[in-house]
Amino acid sequence: MNSRTPPERYRFASGKIRREGAEWFLDLKDPVDGKHATFGPFESYKAAFEMAAKYGEVSTSGAAPSKQDLPKPDPPSAAEKGIDLEQRIAAFFLEHGYSATTNQVLTGRSGGRHEIDVLAQRNDGVTSYRVAIECKAWQAPINKDVVAKSAYVCGDLGINKVIIVSLGGWQVGAEIAAEQQGVELWGSTELEDRLGRVGAAGALAGSGRRTALGFATNFDRTLAEKLIVGERWGFFRRRSEAIERIEHVWLPIWVLNLGCAREERHKLRTVSIWNAYEALSGSLVTTLPDQPELREVNLGRSRLVHQITEKSIGRRLANAAEKSWSLVTASAQRRYEDELESLGVPRDARSVTVERGSEAFLPLFVGLLTHEGSQRVMVVDATWGRVWTELGTTLTANIGYLREALGKQWS
């Protein structure tokens, strides 16, 4: 009973697995002399079962293992998930009239050799159309470098269309890069649309996330609803507006480290400041005491899209600083000094440069209010818990953009 490994002569023995309390034992019948021997104890049914599997026909009669005791198959490896995903994608294209091969190695115009996970082709006798599909069965979301590499490889090969299937979703930088380079991204939603619910469930290893760096959500929907309800009388002045919906939305922003040159005692001294600007119109979100601590956030599909770049904000700041001291009239100078101040920069800045910049996202609760056919957007900042009147006015004036950006959620 103190041995767990039966001798070699039991290789074709018959027997059973049984349980005593919390321990498991393997009873085998010696095929030579017919005597019974017990081996164990084993810490689990799985351990006893694995040993028994080496020794012929073994019954589990009387063992009555619980679910957690039953041997579980090892989870598929990343390589196995990748192969499975490639086969499912290839089958999809075959069903839609393409020829499809996996792991095709081709030579590009540069002379370099590239392996394509799935190459789908359709030939109508006049022209040939080729689609390259890169299959990423990763747990983590892909970044923009993956998109850039796929776009380069397929450009070198003269491929007509590039698709990246990512089970773990993608970062926002990857989505922006894909839009710029004409690469199509497929995540959980796209797989379900094409493979069906069952097929997509079989392929998916991740949650189809869209991630980016962002600020924390410190205030929940309850606070947003209270603030919106409290503000809904002020616009039309006659009676309360109806709240059609309130959505959690991620606002794109630019976090910029600015170098501001100021004159002190006839010498220029540069000070470093951190500001955040929303990426729709470029207005100031907040001034920051230091570089902010951003975290990875899951944006899902509730995000607005960058409308301006960090360079355009930098040019606006540099222009305002230059005009504030170079123009002749005092009124013109004050106009640009006011602009600098509204953008979180000292009024007396002689020059402003962007030292560092990064994209990030800020959580909002956006409410759609209606009254007699008119519509208004209210915005509550979910990081600092404030009603953001200026952004609400901007989104009200561009409500068509808001509907387009949020799609079904805002229709």
> DSSP string covering 319-337, please?
HHHHHHHHSSSHHHHHHHH
Q: Which of 387, 283, 390, 399 is nearest to 345 (CA)?
A: 283
Tens-place pLDDT, residues 8-62: 666 555 667 777 777 777 777 776 677 777 878 877 766 776 676 665 544 444 4
pTM score: 0.55
Q: How many domains does the chain have?
A: 3
Q: Are residues 237 and 385 in the same domain?
A: yes
Return the pLDDT at 405.
67
Return the pLDDT at 235.
47
Return the pLDDT at 20.
78
* Residue 170 amino acid letter: W
Residue 132's CATH number: 3.40.1350.10
Domain encompassing residue 145 = 78-208
CA 278 to chain centre: 20
Return the pLDDT at 404.
67
The rounded distance, in Å, linking the Cα atoms of 383 and 230 is 19
Q: Are residues 146 and 287 in the same domain?
A: no
Q: Are residues 249 and 391 in the same domain?
A: yes
Q: Are residues 46 and 82 in the same domain?
A: no
User: Is 293 a member of any domain?
Assistant: yes
List the chain pLDDT tens, one digit each, 411 residues: 446 666 666 655 566 777 777 777 777 777 667 777 787 887 776 677 667 666 554 444 444 444 454 445 455 666 777 887 887 888 788 878 888 888 888 999 999 999 999 999 998 778 889 999 999 988 889 999 999 999 999 999 999 999 999 988 899 889 999 999 999 999 888 887 776 644 444 555 444 456 788 999 988 888 888 888 877 665 444 557 888 888 899 999 999 999 999 888 778 889 999 999 998 889 999 999 999 989 888 876 677 877 788 888 999 999 999 998 888 788 888 999 999 999 999 999 999 999 998 889 999 999 988 888 888 999 999 998 889 989 998 888 888 777 766 665 555
Structure tokens at 192: 């379900």
Q: Are residues 293 and 376 in the same domain?
A: yes
Q: Are residues 114 and 29 in the same domain?
A: no
Q: Are residues 402 and 277 in the same domain?
A: yes
Structure tokens at 119: 């190459």
Return the pLDDT at 65.
45
Return the pLDDT at 240.
72
Answer for the pair 38, 5: CB distance below 8 angstroms, yes or no.
no
